[in-house]
Structure 1
Amino acid sequence: MTTATARSVAYLAAGILAGAAGFAWTVVALVTVALLSVTQLGGPVFLGAAWLTRRLATAERHRAGWVLGRPLDEPYEPTAPGTVRERVAAVARQPATWRDLAWLVASFPVGLVTGVAGTVLAIVPVATALAPAWLWAVPNGNAPWPLRPLLTTTPGRFAFAAIGLLVLPVAAWLVRALARGVASGARALLAPGAHLRLVNEAARLAETRARVVDAQAAELRRIERDLHDGAQARIVAAGMTLALAARKLRAGGPAVSDVDLARSQLDEALAELRRLVRGIHPPILTDRGLHAALAALAADSPLDVSLSGDPDARHPAAVESAAYFVVAEGLANAAKHAEASRCTIVLTPGRGTLTVRLTDDGKGGADLAGSGLDGLRRRVEALDGTLTLTSPPGGPTVLHAELPCAS
């Protein structure tokens, strides 16, 4: 609390100089840009003034971090290269440009008033608490009653110090509240606004959509390849074997071995098709839910797997499918690459979310950029979820997915 109060005092006191400097620069910049706007220098001067204004606003964001705990994020959109006129238009279109100016203008009166008030609130109680150390040197012969006994006698000075100690916590609270109020005003103008959030969200959605399209195309290629190289090849081989058996039967020869071989090939093709179907969407997810599907997955794993979560909980089909494949990929990687022996799966429902956490005791060193995990990340991001991986050398590896369940 002492540190927070000291930072608040420093923030308010520095606001006097920062506000004066910001206001003076704003006046100079506006006048200069206005005078030169009718010349060829107007565009470059505007860009230079905007650049320096942004540096001052960034300093204010860092200064607000003294009170808020962390600096404010910058709200600026990237400016594409182009002509001076195009760059001027791009900077002028950004709301952050004018919000910076608004704060630099407002920070002068706000900083002056709150800076003086905060300094007084900080100094007076401290000076009162230290009254016995200095008050004896100040002549107070004309002090009115009841201040005269407090200021001119030793017991009164100690009583005065006690009053200062009692007031000190209240003054500290007021200083912190005042600093938080000013910092909140800075955050309202200098932090990223709704416009930038919409721009960033649109960019994120465009990137996610591109990843989903790529992932879907890759999944279609995988299905086609598996069908062509697996089940289709086995079915063709079974057909050829049956044709050979039919020819032998017409010739009166034995065909039992060929029929048995064809039957075996068809069984293998059927198993391949079932594996392919499970790779697209396991039927057990639809029939019994996520917990049962993961329990079946854990039973088939060579690892010692423990699963915790609500067996009766149901979630949207897309969420359950994504969670299933996150666990499936995590178990496969733990068994194949991490040399793990034990794995823990935890399903945690939240307010509109489902969290899947998979931890193994393997050697670690996994990379989220790998092809399998990257595909999972795209699948999770397509649902506006997040997938993170923590895998230091030596382990343990923690795969954490958070999936929104809101309809």
Structure 2
Amino acid sequence: MDGKIVIEPISGKKQRAEFVDLGRDFAAREPHSVPQLRSEQLELVNPDKNPFFGHARAQLFVARRDGKAVGRISAHIDELALEMPSEQGFGPGTGMFGYFDAEDEAVAKALLDTAEAWLRAEGMTRVLGPISMSVWEEPGLLVSGQDHSPMIMMGHDPAHYRGWIEAAGYAPAKSLLTYHLDVQKEFPPIVQRIVKSGHRNERITVRQVDKSNWDRDAAIVLSILNDAWSGNWGFVPFTPEEVAYAGKKLKPIIFEPLNMIAEVDGEPVAFMLTFPDINRILKRINGKLFPFGWFHLLRWLRKPTNADMRVPLMGVKKQLHSSRLASQLAFMMISQIRENAATDFGAVRGEIGWILDDNQGMVAIADTIQSTVNREYIVFEKPLA
């Protein structure tokens, strides 16, 4: 055995399953990692199931040494990302790598070299990563916060991956932050005054989402998102197929008192989504539905109690950006959701994000409600000469 590293492109159901299971094996080595549902992970890399592939192409790779799988990576190109302005992160010639796991630095370099070669052959001149696989799924490498488990829909990586990626010629392109919030603690007086003022404004209505009309409200939320985030770094619009897919996937974890839509003069202009942290139960069942995991998961989904909460998405229509009304709507929604989470669900801890480190408006809101940064993710970049 000479220890030679061989990188194999993979395709097909059986090899995709190996790719997913290899990632699960790597995750199991990390004390604070949370095993996700295998069926969901398989679906994300299946071109027949994930609508992301309706505007993207990808190649998965597995690294082997002496016949043993020792790493994995994806190389992928999002056609919609190529159409975005370059100053927003993507743009013409920008491909991505993701699903990065490696046994050691030699394997890491071989995997990155292979992904870069594939992207270069596809005409790409720059690479961003890790982004696994859509920017709306798990963007960035965790570089701080490894001492506690991630919340729902957030990645978890060992600290040494950063050094291996930077040694391969990558530099930070953007930082994504999450913020810890004490849900039981009332907001500062200034926030309470802003919220009370908003309630006196007859033009403003803040309502819970209506789960009996979830398809309608999901479409409203994602329409606002496409508008509100359209100028942000890394933005790629949701397609109608992705809107329908996301709505279906999110419905089981939608609890009406935790999700709000704000209207001004009857027009929906802002939203805030909050999810109970399903990772707590996934850790308990080790990410497996059988033989008894499904029972514990379904029981938890009926009414999560003492659950941590995550605010993964919020947005205000662009026409209101930089206005006092925008921040007022945000404070009104987050204040009502905080109260409902604490009283109805017994929540103690919340997490807001991810938030771009240079998104001054959102950072200001996070600071004003006295939340603190608890995790940082970095998206790296490298020119493909």
Same fold (TM > 0.5): no
* TM-score scaled by length of structure 1: 0.22
Q: Bigger radius of gyration, 1 or 2?
A: 1
* TM-score scaled by length of structure 2: 0.23
Report the structure, 1 or 2, having the larger strand content.
2
Report the structure, 1 or 2, having the larger helix content.
1
Q: Comparing both chains, which one has the higher relative contact order based on Cα–Cα distances under 8 Å and sequence gaps of 6 or more?
A: 2
